[in-house]
Amino acid sequence: MKKLQLHTFLITLLFSLTLTCFAQVDSWKEELATWKKERVERLKKPHGWLSLIGMEWLHKGENSIGSAKANDIVLPHGPALVGVFKLHDNKITFTPKKGVKINANHKLVNTAIEVKMDSSGEPSVFDIDSFEFYVIERGKPALRIKDSQASTRKNFTQIDYFPATDKFRIEAEFVAYEPNKEIEIINVLGLLNKEKSIGYVKFSVDGEEFQLDALEAGNEMFIIFSDRTSGRTSYGPGRFLGVPKPKNNSNQVIIDFNKAYNPPCAFNEYSTCPLPPHQNRIRAFIEAGEKIYNY
């Protein structure tokens, strides 16, 4: 009788563990599907990365903008002259053409205003017709232009992914830099920036150990990396990845490469994306996450 009871107990326990395992797999796959859906929704927003159509350097003096070909910055449609950006002594102003309805941070602009760049944390964001534009700092000021009617947005279909696999949902160790370590990151324009790395994540793939430096990103760590799929089946310059920070004084984290995603540069030619630092270019085939995007 006791043997029968033990046998029944073991079968029940095994069944319960199996159900728990399946539930965890289903939960992970559902969470990944939600992440992919939200990722596409962000890209497809009227002025998301798919809408980027230009980055125009501002020169000293006046920079006219509008659809007329005589302008310094030519828009594909809209008013012949929208207004003029003026760069003088590191100060930028914008003066709208009389009668043109253009907003800055959702307020109608009817006189000259000072323009704040994105580096200020509170940039002056202009909108008119289907356009949105604002000034960015990339060694010198440039106007980033987005258009909700951009062909890259209107013709977007889908993102291709490697098959989802728990092989690349990896338990890793986070090792903090104390103090934070300064690392050099170059962007696609060849401009060098120095960023603070809060630490690195250490993990194994196919029995080989790797590590990736991570940057601060609020509730997450931000990783820029490339691997041996880069330029073959995934985006050549590299991909981005968010990793949750360790909790409760633990140094254990989960790296889910199924959420590795392409930088904005993969979707248009006007982004200024950072490239992986040398130490984040790993010799592993990370066949997970987003593949090359063809537009």
Burial state string for 49-81 with b = 16 or more CB within 10 A and e = fewer than 16: bbbbbbbbebeeeebbbbeeeebbbebeebbeb
- Rounded distance between C-alpha atoms, residue 39 and residue 28, angstroms: 16
Q: In the prediction, which pLDDT does 143 show? A: 98
59 Cβ contact list (under 8 Å, min separation 6): 72, 87
pLDDT band at 22 (very low <50, low <70, confident <90, very high): very low
Q: Where are the domains of the chain?
A: 49-154, 159-280
Q: In the prediction, which pLDDT does 205 show? A: 97
- Rounded distance between C-alpha atoms, residue 46 and residue 147, angstroms: 8
CATH class of the 49-154 domain in this structure: mainly beta
How many residues are listed for the chain in this entry? 295
93 Cβ contact list (under 8 Å, min separation 6): 85, 86, 112, 113, 114, 115
Q: What is the mean pLDDT of residues 187-210?
A: 96
Residue with the bigger pLDDT between 117 and 2: it is 117
Instruction: Supply 251's token pair.
Output: 């140094």
| Residue where the block lists tokens 């539930």 | 23
Q: Is the pLDDT of residue 9 over 90?
A: no
Q: What is the mean pLDDT of residues 259-266?
A: 97
